[in-house]
Amino acid sequence: MNEHDQCCSAERSTMRSDKIKSNLVSRLNRVEGQIRGIRGMVEKDVYCDDILNQIAAVQSALNAVGKILLEGHMRSCVMERIQQGDEEVIDELLKTMNKLMK
**Is residue 46 situated within a structural domain?**
yes
Q: What is the domain range of residue 33?
A: 16-100
8 SS3 class = strand
pLDDT for 27-62, tens place per residue? 999 999 999 999 999 999 999 999 999 999 999 999
**Is residue 57 situated within a structural domain?**
yes
Q: How far apart are CA 101 and CA 67, in angstroms?
A: 11
**Is residue 1 situated within a structural domain?**
no
State whether the Cα torsion 67-72-75-78 is positive or negative. negative
**Is residue 8 situated within a structural domain?**
no
Please give the tally of structural domains in the chain.
1
pTM tops 0.75, yes or no: yes
Q: Categorize the per-residue pLDDT at 2 as very low, low, confident or very high, splitting at 50, 70 and 90.
A: very low
Residue-level pLDDT at 11: 67
For residue 5, give every residue at least 6 positions away whose Cβ sits within 8 Å of its Cβ, in sequence order, or none. 14, 15, 16, 20, 69, 72, 73, 75, 76, 77
7 SS3 class = strand
Residue-level pLDDT at 3: 45
pLDDT for 68-90, tens place per residue? 999 999 999 999 999 999 999 99
